[in-house]
Amino acid sequence: MELGVLLLLPLCFPGFQAQTSDSEERLSEGSTLHVQCPYTAGVTYQQQKVWCRVSNNKYEPLVETSRPTEYSYRNQATNGKVTIEDDSMRKTVSITMTNLQAEDSGTYVCAFLYYSSYSYYLLKMISLSVFKELHKSELETVSVQCKYSALVHSTDVKFWCQEGQTGCKVLVRTDYPSAQGNSKALEHRTVIQDDTQRRTVTITMQKLQAQDTGVYWCAFYRGAHTIQIMEARVSVFKRTQQHTAKKSGNFSVQCSYNALEYGAARKAWCKEVAEKPCTILITTDLKPSGYPRTFQQGRLTIQDDTQKGVVTITIRELQAQDSGVYLCALYEHGYIFRMEEVTLNISDKSAGTTLSGTAGTSQATPSGDDPKLSSNANFFILLYGVLSILLILALISLITLCIRQHKQLKRKGNGQADHIYEKPEDTAQLDSTERLESPKDDSKDLKYVTLNFKSKIILQDPLYCNVEPSQAHMKPKDENVEYAIIAVKQ
């Protein structure tokens, strides 16, 4: 953009007609806007830069740079959440707006001050649209507030519309009383209220469904023109559950809802088939109750706990044709409002299933592979192995101990053989003839002699008996001496 053109566009003064925006910015609430405004050689660094908001053909300065010094290359200023910076090296003015809100939507300009005329001249114009981003689940309620400026009159008609292919379809407006009709249409589930004292329009949408996802506008009429106040983007998510159950078994599922809003409402369980409306299988009644209400029809049972806000559906003796997509729903005036979507698959396997009533996917678990049973079996196998090892070790230790004991006893018996002698009685009898006994073998081992006394004698001193080698029937070459010691006590 050349300076010669810029000089024709004085800003920040009443009466100036807004020009076409150079760019459009669409950002969600809480985000940050970054804008760069380059300037040509005709614009000097010494000239002050400003960021203005256009409102009703008037330009309100939000922030401006200070008068630069001769040696400075960067000039920066901040006012609230808006910052402006002039970089003389790059010849660019940068604008930053943080924490954007829906009321920040509008037209803005970046300009500089021309000292000779004390007027501002345009560098860049942008159109900023800040939208609300709302995320809800089905059957929830969304409430939106639109604040409007003093330029909007209390008598102006405000309205709430949904953007579509043919334009913005008006759902509710302040010049018609809001009333909920006996219809599933969104306009019958939407209420608008205008608080002229606070200059705020409040829109409430109830019993949200997935098909309500879209872009909405809060706006007002000024003659034949429509002026936007705020944009809102509403996303409605479908709550789903997936389950697998055994044929001929039983199946139960739970769906939650807001007990305060829908405790007294009628609940239904229906099955979807192709493009046809959901076929109602069983419902509750309309009588409010402080305790669970149970209703049964054929193989189906439905129980509504209005205090906890939980409805439970049970199907007995499952069959193959029970597979399909079901809805837990509110049932009002002949219309179905989806609460949760439940997908049920029937398995022909003999294994049992484990089902969960919470949202998400539930998978079957074969009864033969029950984790608890498997864990117990593993524990007993491990215990049996440990006890077997301990028993084997005990047997080995016992055998080793017996062998050692046997060897010790044998060794002790051999050692005592060298010191054995027979003690005579106090009164001994001596045979009339002495007998000398000797082993028949000619070994070199010691020979022992046993004397028996038949007559009573009293010995004062020990009696010794020497045996000559010739009497032991030993070979002459052997020189071993054999003897016996006999002690007689008085």
Q: Which domain holds residue 14?
A: 3-129
Give the pLDDT score at 311. Answer: 96
Distance CA 108, CA 103 (A): 13
Give the pLDDT score at 469. Answer: 53
How many Cα atoms occupy the beta-carbon half-sphere of 459 within 13 Å? 17
Do 9 and 123 lie in one domain? The reply is yes
Residue 400 exposed, middle or buried by CB count within 10 Å (0-12, 13-18, 19+): exposed
How many Cα atoms occupy the beta-carbon half-sphere of 300 within 13 Å? 14
Give the pLDDT score at 427. Answer: 39
Do 94 and 142 lie in one domain? The reply is no
Question: Of 389, 418, 447, which residue is a domain's last?
Answer: 418
Only one residue has tokens 């010849």, namely 91
Say what the pTM is. 0.61
Q: Which two tokens stand for residue 479?
A: 């020189």
Do 145 and 221 lie in one domain? The reply is yes
Question: Of 204, 237, 270, which residue is a domain's last?
Answer: 237
Residue 12 exposed, middle or buried by CB count within 10 Å (0-12, 13-18, 19+): buried
Question: Of 78, 98, 129, which residue is a domain's last?
Answer: 129
Q: Which two tokens stand for residue 474?
A: 């030993």
Nearest to 160 by CA among 214, 223, 105: 214
Q: Compute mean pLDDT per 10 residues along the chain, 490 residues long, and list them.
A: 37 47 89 92 78 86 80 82 91 94 91 74 91 95 91 90 92 80 85 93 95 95 86 96 94 95 93 90 78 86 93 96 96 93 87 38 37 58 84 89 79 50 41 42 49 48 51 49 54
Only one residue has tokens 């401006």, namely 64
Do 298 and 345 lie in one domain? The reply is yes
449, 482, 488 from 465: Cα distances, Å: 9, 10, 13
Do 153 and 196 lie in one domain? The reply is yes
Give the pLDDT score at 372. Answer: 47
Do 434 and 471 lie in one domain? The reply is yes
Do 460 and 431 lie in one domain? The reply is yes
Do 122 and 70 lie in one domain? The reply is yes
* 3-state secondary structure (DSSP) of residue 208: coil
Do 122 and 64 lie in one domain? The reply is yes
Q: What is the pLDDT of residues 74-98, one digit of tens each?
A: 788 999 999 999 988 888 999 999 9
Do 198 and 99 lie in one domain? The reply is no
Give the pLDDT score at 285. Answer: 83
How many domains, the chain? 5
> Which residue blocks in 102-239 are alpha helix, DSSP H?
none
Do 350 and 376 lie in one domain? The reply is no
Give the pLDDT score at 74. Answer: 79
Do 290 and 212 lie in one domain? The reply is no
